[in-house]
Chains A and B, each alone.
Chain A
Amino acid sequence: MEGNFNPHPASQAPIETPMNRSFQTRTVKSKWKSQFTSSLFVLPYLICFVAFLAYPLVYGIVMSFQDYELLSSKHAFVGLKNYIDIFKKGDYLHTSFFQGLLGTVKFVVYSVPFLIIVGLALALLVNSLPAKVRSVFRTIFFTPYAISASVMAVIFIRVFDTNAGLLNIVLSKFHLPSQIGWLTDLPWAWIALVGATLWWTIGFNMLIFINALNEVSEEMYEAAKIDGANAWQRFLYITLPSIRKIMIFIIITSTIASFNIYAQPFLMTRGGPGSETTVLLMNVFDVAFGQHKMGAASAMALLMALMIIVISIIQFRLTREREE
């Protein structure tokens, strides 16, 4: 505060505001009054938070211990039955959960490396452009992020169409195999899903990488150049270590995002061919709204959330230990 312009030079006593200590140690009554009016600021949000987030969160845990049928009003307490069923071989819930989990894990494994490498490559590319055109290309690569999942699906169902699809037509122009069933055959269905995901979301990772790259000190590059390090060595020994933190952030957020995969297979491949691209969230929704078993679906959702949280923690630990 010292040295700042004081609009009221006459008053030298500490200013009492709801923000500082002198105010809070006034009489009990006025303290309460102040706390009350301050709470009014937070109240509207807190009501929404409790009603539409905290309460459902707790209610979801309760539901997972119930035989909660969507269309009936009776919700019998069944203890751990839903969870036991999920782990009981041959049970419908077991198949639904683990088949879906397999699809989800496959998508995570196929997509995350590309989400990171392509995101970083795009960021390096944009940064290597002359300053004048940089923002134009940044905007272009980021624009698909503004498109809704539904529209993305409509576009890519057509792009990947076997007969009239953009991709197969382009391939035929180059005299490459062009009768590929992108959404109906393997491994093409996975390639199509990962490709569409990259187009749709990669701009976000690119932006964050660009931001991180801009904070790497120019001097270190200069020093390395003088020492005779080539571009690849500079990337390996200066760029990568400097953006470590952001890299961890991107790995974790991309893994979580890919684990939550739903729109792309639900709208584009409908889980096919067979049940190959059927992912866990699709089955959670199917058990909840198709089979009307809300309780069992809640148990599946909670297990899924638990896995996501555990994976994030493991990733965070692994990447941090390497530093020490």
Chain B
Amino acid sequence: MKKYIKPILSIIIASVLAVVFIAPLLWMVSISFKDDVEAILPNLNIIPDHPTVANYVNVLTGGDLNVPIWRWVFNSLFVGVVTTVLVVAIDALAAYGLARLDVPFKNVILAMIVGTMMIPSIVWFLPLYAEFSKLQLIDTYWALILPYTSGAFGVFLLYQFFTSFPKEIEEAAYLDGANKFQIFYRILLPSAKPALWTLAILTFMGVFNDFVWPLYATNSDEMRTLTAGIAIMTQGSYVNSPNKMMALSTIATIPVLLVFLIGQKSFVKAVTQSGIK
């Protein structure tokens, strides 16, 4: 009997905490289905008295909030997907080159890349803005995408994978007359799939969720991403229509939550590996 007490106690405590962790998200979804009257009432109804999808219809048809929501959804997905593809491609190439090929000044390049990982990003945030401003690229997709391509995390992550990949397989391929590019494309990339997916998931979530850079790098309503748009709206009178804000927030959360839940396993693995060993 005694040996059951501890696990049961743990489950009870964990369950109470689980409610605390889920409650805010559940509340967001709940309010997004409430009508204008019920949404501002101080009650705890998780299931609304008069459930309605009117808020979603309203938000998606550019009603009360008067924002180009479809454009924001497109911007966020477009920037998220394009950046992810770019980052995975250039990081994989660079990581392989640094891990296995005779790149001149390899160690200097590696040290430089790893060194910048310790510098807080605020240091290059302002000059980056000045740079894009000078190039007249503020408020364009270029500004929303390109800055993310310089991150060192992906190179570092894939570098660790490629250095642990058995050399014999590559050597055999060289003997068969394959060149570097063929070996990279036909042997290394397919076997690096799990690592590449991990990087893709982390990059997509990071870019999709970032609001600070898109907030300053855009200034027209049409170029906002979902997160930048919502961040601006929290400062305005939109707070007075919580049900619509919650509907918009739910819409902005669905894509990234899906990616998170699908990629959870590799995500968890990557996070634990990013710690020191």
Contact = CB atoms under 8 A, between A and B. Distances in A.
Partners in one complex: yes
Interface of A: 1, 4, 7-8, 11, 15-19, 23-24, 31, 34-35, 37-42, 44-46, 48-49, 51-57, 59-60, 63, 68, 70, 122, 125-126, 128-130, 133, 137-144, 146-151, 153-159, 163-166, 168-170, 173, 199, 204, 207-208, 210-212, 245-246, 249, 256, 259-260, 262-263, 267, 270, 281, 284-285, 288-289, 294, 297-298, 301-302, 304-305, 308-309, 312
A138 B18 CA distance: 10
B53 interface: no
Nearest to A118: B17
A53 B116 contact: yes
Sorted from nearest, which 10 A-B pairs have the closest CB atoms? A41-B97, A45-B94, A38-B101, A146-B260, A56-B124, A148-B209, A52-B150, A53-B150, A56-B127, A60-B127
B231 to A, nearest CB: 4
Nearest to B258: A146
A130 B7 contact: yes
B52 interface: no
Interface in B82-121: 89-91, 93-94, 96-98, 100-104, 109, 112-113, 116, 118-120
A166 B120 contact: no
A146 B211 CA distance: 14
Interface string B131-175: 101000000000000110110100100000000000110111011
Interface of B: 6-7, 10-11, 13-14, 17-18, 20-25, 27-28, 31, 40-44, 89-91, 93-94, 96-98, 100-104, 109, 112-113, 116, 118-120, 122-131, 133, 146-147, 149-150, 152, 155, 167-168, 170-172, 174-175, 179-181, 184, 205, 208-212, 216, 226-228, 230-231, 234-235, 239, 242, 245-246, 248-249, 252-253, 256-257, 259-261, 264, 268, 271-272, 275-276
Given A133-B11, A146-B205, A263-B211, A60 B123 contact: yes
Contacts of B252: 148, 150-151
Contacts of A210: 272
Determine the main DSSP class of B at the interface with A. Answer: helix
A170 to B, nearest CB: 7
Contact of A301 (B90, B122, B234): B122
A270 B235 contact: yes
A42 B92 CA distance: 9
A144 B27 CA distance: 13
A208 B271 contact: yes
A166 B155 contact: no
A192 to B, nearest CB: 12
B22 A24 contact: no
B90 A305 contact: no
Contacts of B248: 154
Given A42-B94, A267-B231, A154 B246 contact: yes
A11 B133 CA distance: 59
A19 B6 contact: no
Given A18-B100, A208-B272, A7 B150 contact: no
Dominant SS at the A interface? Answer: helix
Given A139-B264, A208-B271, A249-B276, A63 B93 contact: no
A148 B211 contact: yes
Contacts of A46: 94, 109
A164 B211 CA distance: 27
Contacts of B210: 148
B213 to A, nearest CB: 11
Given A149-B209, A169-B44, A129 B14 contact: yes
B128 A52 contact: yes
Given A57-B123, A125-B17, 14 more contacts: A18-B174, A56-B124, A56-B127, A57-B119, A128-B10, A129-B7, A146-B209, A149-B211, A150-B230, A151-B227, A155-B27, A260-B120, A301-B126, A309-B118
